[in-house]
Amino acid sequence: MSAPAAAPVTHPPLPAGRALSYMAAATVIGLSQGLQQGFVSTSLPQLAGDLGITTTSAAWLLAVYMIPRVALPVLLIKIRTQFGLRRFAEIGVVVYALVALAAIWASDFRSALVLQALAGAAAAPLSTLAFLYMLEPLSPQAKMVLGLPLAMVVLMTGPLLARVIGPSLIGDGGMAGVHMAGLALALISLMLVLALPLRPMPRQKVIEPLDFLSFALIGFGFGGLIIAFVMGPIYNWTDMAWIGLLLAAAVLSLTLAVTVELNRRAPLLDIRWLASPAILHLTGTLLLFRLILSEQSAGAPRMFQVLGMGPDQMIGLFSVISLAGVMGALACIAWMRPQRVPVFHLAALLVIAAGAFLDAQVTPDWRPTQMIASQALIGFAGMLFMPPAMMAGLISALSKGPHYILSFVIVFISTQSLGGVLGSGLFTTFTTRRQALHLQDLAAQLTPTDPATVQAMAGRMAALAGTLPDAGARRAQAAADLAQQAGLQAWVQAYGDAYALTGWAALIAAAALVLHLLRDRMTAKMMEPDQ
């Protein structure tokens, strides 16, 4: 966070029609960046096919997209202050449109890596723009009660909608339809930014040479964490020594960045404010919640992929999840107030626990329709949690000064994106380890002397009698089928364990929140003067 800016200029409220135009622009801009991020994370197999590479290599496309997506907003705090909001908006969207256009002709892995890095850099300001456009026409009170829920639902729904519309865009033409859709949204966003300028704010020369050193250290630290948690589960962490070295280097880089920032007069980030008890508590809560929500992004879709279901079979599931998020935003608009933030958080944690424990009963026969209710609960709870958390953070930022508001929004967006990558990596690592343990247990049971195994072999051999007349071939095929079923069962049990762990984590967090509220109430009573 830079040095204090000049006092904000008070503007009269916009007419209703123009206010709706700004909110519509926020929706398009927010969905544009969310869909782009969703297409990258959910279409890696298709991207690998288009480029003629392995899915392991394609995972690097996600990593290089997320690195600038997470790191660049930190530098944008001062860039926006020095060069102005309008230039900040126009350049960001123009670059985004140019990258979307260039992606249509990307035909090799190297060009795709460069374009994904540029796309992540171009998308970095779009989340902030979506916030600014949604809050721009509203009164101060409406910004908190109406603007925050609407902005959050737009930003959080984009990646979910990518799973809804992605299958229809990916056809015989490969990723061409996805690239064209991204280009169309980018051009519409550009048109809206040019037609609806944000109100000017005072500029101030705040960029210093040390800002670039701090940004380089923060960018390397975030980048190291992202690469490790994207590629670590793929390479099984300990199989590649460079992953551990990269994690150590990332932690060292972030430590150096904190040291540099603490000793600056006008730091890029106000570390002391970010390390204050209130903000640390809020940041820890948000990261924990982001890890819990990884069950939805890294759990159900990957489990159904293991069970042999394609993206088109999950369209209904993610449509309902998206609708549930909208309902959660409407609930926030109706009842959210600063004093009710803990109640919203407690309700969200309990609802997530209920949904996760329902998912923990999963069997290999489950289909996406059987997870609609539980995943809708989790989607509703996610939206029930985020806007109140943002409200608490913005109130804390406002107490420090108006110039801290955008800084908090940018830091919030960066940490949430980073938390999503870390949560997905941890969730995938947990399920992989649990699958190996369950498969080991199941393999020990599949012995020639086990009655259940003998019965299953006989049944399978009888089913193959019409297609395989040779008895030896039938036995070999039946054994292979049983081994495959055991592998699927092990994966399902692993995901069930992960869902149960998510439920218990939500319950423990809810219990900690209740204890915190009780402590605050007891402290308040002790501070009351005697009557």
Instruction: Using the Cα atoms of residue 390, residue 34, residue 79 and residue 150 in order, give the sign of their dihedral.
Output: negative
Decide if pLDDT at 8 tops 60.
Answer: no
236 Rama class: left (phi>0) / alpha (psi -120 to 50) / beta: left
231-263 pLDDT, tens digit per residue, is: 998 888 888 889 999 999 999 999 999 999 888
Most confident of 96-105, 206-215, 285-294, 502-511: 502-511
Q: Please state the pTM of the whole predicted model.
A: 0.86
Cα 104 from Cα 177, distance rounded (Å): 9
Cα 448 from Cα 317, distance rounded (Å): 41
DSSP 228-243: HHHHTTTTTTTT-HHH
Decide if pLDDT at 3 tops 80.
Answer: no
The band of 515, judged by pLDDT with boundaries at 50, 70 and 90, is: very high
Packing angle, helices 85-103 and 16-42, rounded to 10: 40
In this predicted structure, what is the pLDDT of residue 6?
Answer: 39
In this predicted structure, what is the pLDDT of residue 309?
Answer: 86
Q: Could you report how far apart the first and last alpha carbons of the chain are, in Å?
A: 46
Q: How far is CA 409 from the centre of its chain?
A: 15
Q: What is the mean pLDDT of residues 447-464?
A: 67
**How many CA atoms does the CB half-sphere of 358 hold within 13 Å?**
16
Closest by alpha carbon to 376, among 334, 333, 324, 412?
324
Cα 16 from Cα 12, distance rounded (Å): 12
DSSP 61-105: HHHHHHHHHHHHHHHHHHHHHHH-HHHHHHHHHHHHHHHHHHHTT
The band of 322, judged by pLDDT with boundaries at 50, 70 and 90, is: very high
Cα 455 from Cα 465, distance rounded (Å): 15
Residue type present at position 181:
A
Cα 37 from Cα 420, distance rounded (Å): 12
Decide if pLDDT at 475 tops 90.
Answer: no
Burial (CB < 10 A; 0-12, 13-18, 19+), residue 74, is: buried
In this predicted structure, what is the pLDDT of residue 85?
Answer: 66
Strand partners, 174: 171
Q: What six digits make up the tokens of 71? A: 């790191």
341-381 pLDDT, tens digit per residue, is: 889 999 999 999 999 999 999 998 899 999 999 999 999 99
DSSP state of 449: T
200 SS3 class = coil
Cα 493 from Cα 108, distance rounded (Å): 39
Please answer whether residues 19 and 147 qualify as being in contact, where contact means their C-beta atoms are separated by less than 8 angstroms.
Answer: no
Question: Between the CA of residue 518 and those of 282, 299, 522, what are the distances in Å?
Answer: 18, 34, 6
Decide if pLDDT at 65 tops 60.
Answer: yes
Q: What six digits make up the tokens of 42? A: 């959910």
In this predicted structure, what is the pLDDT of residue 12?
Answer: 58
Q: What six digits make up the tokens of 279? A: 């903000």
